[in-house]
Structure 1
Amino acid sequence: MSTIPGTSLENPWGSLGLASQAPARDTSLGQADFLRLMTEQLKNQDPLKPLQNAEFLGQLAQFSTVQGIDKMQGALSSVASVMESDQTLRAAALVGREALIETDTVELAAGAGVRGEIAATRAGTLQVEIVDASGATVRRTTVQADAAGGVAWEWDGRDDNGDPAAAGRYSIRATSGGGEDTESLAVGVAARIDSVSIEPQGLVLNLAGLGSHPLGAIRRIG
């Protein structure tokens, strides 16, 4: 009688890679298992060496600890659910408001302008340059700082010739002083909050022309 090479009659599926696998066993120890093991231990203990009170109390303490951890996990889950609901309510209240974020770039819409704040370190004249994506300066202007702190600034979206700047990404450079005493300053841009995303790390604000930023990056909401 002829045979088919590579085929075993005892295990016809082995050569096809279909050998059966034993299902995974659950090795976790639950509360019922803990109690059953403790009961069996008491029933089968050596009469000449009974379980000492301290050992018995220690095992009871372990059981109480397991129960306490389970209850604590349930309580923490409830707290997390409440916090997530609170974040949702906070997010709904922020949409449509204006946020100030520290950034030196902005996406200019056609015919729009930009405004924000410059963090002055001292009183004096502050120079502001608007630079396009190619590195060319399209607008130079100045603002006066009466003291250290936030100084409002605004760009009407026009170049030095008074013509509307093309829509696109622009950089904002602010400095004070001059020559060797020139100091770069932090710039903040104000933008409308279009929407809010609830991410695992917290609230993320989606700002018009500025993209997405975490709530912690916002300097002011007005």
Structure 2
Amino acid sequence: MNTIAGDFASTLTQAQPAGATGGRSSLDQTAFLKLMTTQLKFQDPFDPVDNQAMVAQMAQFSQVAGISEMNASLKSISSALGTSRLAEAASFIGRSVLQQGDTAHADAQGRYAGEFTLAAPADNVTLEWTDASGNVLHSQQLGKLAAGTIPFQLISQDENGQPVNAGPLKLRVTGAAATGLSTWLPVTAVESSSNGADAMLVTPAGSIAAGSIKRIA
């Protein structure tokens, strides 16, 4: 008489030879039930499989199957949300977003712009525009300013009034303790993030998460 004894779960990986399921590398619910039926059919009547152990194994299999189905559902939801976020972010193309940082980039009109915050009034504030080496290319005397958010901008044009992209310009505020320095960045494209959690906005400063921007214009 053929007998199947021992832990029921341990038979799952031994019951079928490699390739017997047409290349399937894991057991689905149908295969599990067939295995269980086979075990019941050929069990030793003098040493039957313990009922409690079998119920426990069935519950464990159901739990694992449920987790697998839940993971598949979550992946599907994540994919759908990622597509939705990407479609929503497409409306950002051609516009500018405010992002914290000290490097400004020109938009299509040659405008460099941003803002900073003063916690207290200041009498003689200067905004310096520098190149990557720290050389001052332009200074703006902002004078006496009240506490609060201070917007700024610089228009880059040639002698004919046409926009000129002078490349990235770094900003430095002197004469006051400025915080929250941010610049407007033109959005040229959108792309999905590596984990699909958020849409990425492509700007001259690199790709930034749509959820990290402060404002859009």
CA contact (8 A) 1:173 1:187 kept: no
Q: Per-residue displacement from partner, 1:186-221 (whole Å, max 9, x unpaired)?
A: 4211133222112224311122x4333222432211
Q: Describe the shift of the 1:138–1:105 C-alpha distance in structure 2 as closer, same or farther (beyond 3 A).
A: same
Which residue does the alignment assign to 2:201?
205
Which residue does the alignment assign to 2:88?
90
* Letter aligned with residue 147 of structure 1: A
Map residues 61-140 of structure 1 onto 2, 5 A cutoff.
61-108=59-106, 112-125=110-123, 126-140=125-139
Q: Describe the shift of the 1:54–1:28 C-alpha distance in structure 2 as closer, same or farther (beyond 3 A).
A: same
Q: Describe the shift of the 1:109–1:53 C-alpha distance in structure 2 as closer, same or farther (beyond 3 A).
A: closer
1:191 to 185, 188, 200: 185
* Letter aligned with residue 202 of structure 2: N
- How many Å separate the matches in 1 of 2:48 and 2:55? 14
- How many Å separate the matches in 1 of 2:50 and 2:105? 75
Count of equivalent residues: 188
Report the identity percentage: 30
Map residues 10-49 of structure 1 onto 2, 5 A cutoff.
27-49=25-47
Q: Per-residue displacement from partner, 1:91-149 (whole Å, max 9, x unpaired)?
A: 2222222211112123458982311101223222432111123432122223354224x
* Letter aligned with residue 45 of structure 1: Q
CA contact (8 A) 2:94 2:187 kept: yes
CA contact (8 A) 2:117 2:179 kept: yes
* Letter aligned with residue 91 of structure 1: A
CA contact (8 A) 1:123 1:145 kept: yes
Q: Describe the shift of the 1:30–1:109 C-alpha distance in structure 2 as closer, same or farther (beyond 3 A).
A: closer
Q: Describe the shift of the 1:86–1:54 C-alpha distance in structure 2 as closer, same or farther (beyond 3 A).
A: same
Q: Describe the shift of the 1:221–1:151 C-alpha distance in structure 2 as closer, same or farther (beyond 3 A).
A: same
- How many Å separate the matches in 2 of 1:53 and 1:108? 74
Q: Gapped runs of 5+ residues in structure 2?
A: 1-18, 158-162
Runs of 4+ in structure 1 deviating by more than 6 angstroms, as ranges, are none
Structure with larger Rg: 1
1:54 to 52, 55, 58: 52
* Letter aligned with residue 210 of structure 2: L
Q: Describe the shift of the 1:101–1:113 C-alpha distance in structure 2 as closer, same or farther (beyond 3 A).
A: same
Give the TM-score normalised by the residue count of structure 1: 0.70
SS class of match (1:48): coil
Which residue does the alignment assign to 2:173?
174
CA contact (8 A) 2:156 2:166 kept: no
- How many Å separate the matches in 2 of 1:44 and 1:210? 69
Give the TM-score normalised by the residue count of structure 2: 0.71
* Letter aligned with residue 168 of structure 1: G
